[in-house]
Amino acid sequence: MAAVECGGGDWPFSAEEAYADSSALLAEIGWAAGFVDDACAGELLPPLDPPPATPTGSMEGAGASSSSTDDGATREAADADGRPAAATEAASKPAPAPAPGKTMKKQKRARHPRFAFMTKTEIDHLEDGYRWRKYGQKAVKNSPFPRSYYRCTNNKCTVKKRVERSSDDPSVVITTYEGQHCHHTVTFPRGAGAATLASQMAFSAHHHHHLVYNDLPALHSPTTQNPLFSVPAMSSSLLQPLHCNRQELQVASYTTQASSISSPGSVPAVDKGLLDDMVPPAMRHG
DNA sequence: CGTTTTTGACCAGCGC
DNA sequence: GCGCTGGTCAAAAACG
């Protein structure tokens, strides 16, 4: 596993860091993290081929976009159907009193730490110990695979999760967590999916100081012995179940911690990285 | 019957 | 200003 400090990774994403298409995300994470080889000996597969840098304005493949359906004849049906509360209200009233639930859209979305990892698996939604409710699905530009949006079922918990399959490698699932859980896992099954494993790895990284952070730009030289690729052993106890599950894992994280970003060469505040992303200090096991 | 998923629409941000 | 896209909402459907 490798964790990546994504420079300027404020939330919400700016356009260029929003990973509007999975290729961009793949490029970033893939290059950054590399693949964990099946051998689990710390050997790593070559980094992913970076997809051609797609210009921001490139619209090819937009046919996959769901926006094409938005303008369809279904709209009038929907309007006639009702959508009485929120939609109609929002449509008729320009702005003044934000409808409940819509307030988040008015203000700039709050920044949340993000934690993404890539999993080579056929399973789209990996078990990670938390319960999630799906609240949306969108077709992604330049990708034949849709992106699913999940929210933690704990109503006090604002953590969200995006799951999408890589367009470059359909066997790779990209999972992006946003926010911090304010509660314990519902279940934390031993030897469950790779997502659970990733969480465990995050914890292990914290406890064993195995994580190596680096600044993203430095990661884009696949030939170098990047510190990221030498993530020490990734704790064999963690890799073992991974191996058993026959799932290859990539992990990357982007956080909003400027402190780490500002010290690319060193090993900055390693402990705080992933764990801080995922679990508030009060929740950590001493 | 309660919970979750599906799905079409709406909205904001961004680039042109 | 317009169009595109990602993210979210919420009613309906599906599921247990």
Q: What is the distance in angstroms measured between the alpha-carbon CA of A136 and the sugar C1' of B7?
A: 8
Asked whether A143 and A150 are in contact (CB, 8 A), the reply is no
Q: How far apart are CA A215 and CA A74, in angstroms?
A: 46
* Within A 113-132, residues with CB less than 7 Å from strand B: 131-132
Q: What is the mean pLDDT of residues A173-186?
A: 79
Q: What is the pLDDT, as a whole number, of residue A258?
A: 34
Q: What is the mean pLDDT of residues A90-109?
A: 36
pLDDT category of residue A149 using cuts at 50, 70 and 90: very high
β-strands A35-36, A248-254: how paired?
unpaired
User: Comparing C-alpha atoms, which of A264, A271, A256 is closest to residue A114?
Assistant: A256
Q: Which nucleotide is nearest to A164 (CA to C1')?
A: C6
Asked whether A36 and A249 are in contact (CB, 8 A), the reply is yes
Q: What is the pLDDT, as a whole number, of residue A207?
A: 39
Asked whether A205 and A3 are in contact (CB, 8 A), the reply is yes
Q: What is the pLDDT, as a whole number, of residue A137?
A: 92
Q: What is the pLDDT, as a whole number, of residue A150?
A: 93
- Please tell me whether any atom of strand C lies within 7 Å of the Cβ of A75: no
Q: What is the pLDDT, as a whole number, of residue A186?
A: 64
- Please tell me whether any atom of strand C lies within 7 Å of the Cβ of A70: yes
For chain A, how big is the Rg over CA atoms in Å? 20
Asked whether A278 and A115 are in contact (CB, 8 A), the reply is yes
- Please tell me whether any atom of strand B lies within 7 Å of the Cβ of A272: no
pLDDT at A223 over 50: no
pLDDT in tens, A231-283: 333 333 333 333 333 344 444 444 433 333 333 333 333 334 333 444 444 44
β-strands A35-36, A160-165: how paired?
unpaired
pLDDT at A118 over 80: yes
pTM: 0.53
pLDDT at A203 over 70: no
pLDDT, greater one: A96 or A153: A153
- Please tell me whether any atom of strand C lies within 7 Å of the Cβ of A78: no
Percent of chain A having pLDDT more than 70? 24
pLDDT in tens, A2-34: 333 333 333 333 333 334 344 444 444 443 343
Q: What is the pLDDT, as a whole number, of residue A143?
A: 84
Q: Mean pLDDT of all residues in chain A? A: 49
- Please tell me whether any atom of strand B lies within 7 Å of the Cβ of A60: no
pLDDT at A121 over 50: yes
Nearest protein residue to nucleotide C10, judged by CA and C1' positions: A83
Q: How far apart are CA A129 and CA A115, in angstroms?
A: 16
pLDDT category of residue A112 using cuts at 50, 70 and 90: low
Q: Which nucleotide is nearest to A59 (CA to C1')?
A: C4
- Please tell me whether any atom of strand C lies within 7 Å of the Cβ of A162: yes
Asked whether A150 and A132 are in contact (CB, 8 A), the reply is yes
pLDDT category of residue A48 using cuts at 50, 70 and 90: very low
* Within A 137-176, residues with CB less than 7 Å from strand B: 137-138, 148, 153
**E-strand spans in A179-276?**
248-254
pLDDT at A179 over 50: yes
Percent of chain A having pLDDT more than 90? 4
Q: What is the pLDDT, as a whole number, of residue A111?
A: 54
Q: What is the pLDDT, as a whole number, of residue A270?
A: 36
Q: Which nucleotide is nearest to A56 (CA to C1')?
A: B15
